[in-house]
Amino acid sequence: GKGYEEFYKRVQSEGVRMIRGKASRIEEKNGILTVTAEDTLSDRILKIPVEMVILCTAMEPRSDANEISRTFGISVGSDGFFLEEHPKLEPVSTATSGIFLAGTCQGPKDIPDTVAQAKGAAAEALALSISGRVAVSPMISYINPDICVGCQVCIDLCAYSAIEFNELKGISEVNEAVCKGCGSCAGYCPSGAAQIRHFTGKQIFSEIDGLLAG
């Protein structure tokens, strides 16, 4: 990152010795600590006597990260940190509209990157609040209540937690404000109750017939 090379040279000039490699063993003898490590640049095994050893543990996500992801419909990566919608095009957005990422909830970061991302997330949230209205895509899922048998297959498939089961009616219902119109529910619904608005099976076949006729 910016300024890292200058920082590296400054600490070297102050007498900090850096060894590229991995410490394999720390031993104590007569009150003296000895670190055994491999220097990958010189391909040698080093034994360095030191007064103190400080272990830098790896950063891990919070223990309740999975619970938060289920509550807000945020995707989680294999490392347990929250996933952005796109690493380059949407670095602070998530799969759920109106929820943005900032800081180390997305992964290990230094302070400048965290501040920059926080400003980006604040700008995205401000843009939504200033508009006063949120435009929802018309191409979203809907479930025909007359056909739905309440099997709840669509609920398990939905990556955005946009479908809930209505216990009183015994059917699944779509939260249109959360739905992204991916079509997973429509593709797997055994009864055919789940469809995408403006992309129903009848409409698609009509488009195909129109193309073939033309």
Q: At a CB cut-off of 8 Å and minimum separation 6, what does 29 contact?
A: none
Alpha-carbon span 12 to 104, nearest angstrom: 28
The mean pLDDT of 137-155, rounded to a whole number, is 90
- Start-to-end C-alpha separation, the chain: 57
Can you spell out the DSSP letters for 96-125?
STT-B--GGGSS---HHHHHHHHHHHHHHH
Contact 66, 74 (CB under 8 A): no
Query: 186-201 pLDDT, tens per residue?
Result: 888 999 899 988 888 7
Can you spell out the DSSP letters for 152-209?
-HHHHH-TT--EEEETTTTEEEE-TTT-----HHHHH-TTS-EEETT--HHHHHHHHH
Which pTM value belongs to this model?
0.58
pLDDT score of 40 more than 70? yes
Q: At a CB cut-off of 8 Å and minimum separation 6, what does 183 contact?
A: 141, 196, 199
The mean pLDDT of 60-73, rounded to a whole number, is 88
Contact 141, 183 (CB under 8 A): yes
State the pLDDT confidence band at 73, using cuts at 50, 70 and 90.
Answer: confident
* All domains of the chain in start order, with CATH: 4-50 (no CATH), 65-131 (no CATH), 141-197 (3.30.70.20)
Alpha-carbon span 134 to 79, nearest angstrom: 32
Q: Is 65 helix (H, G, I), strand (E, B) or coil?
A: helix
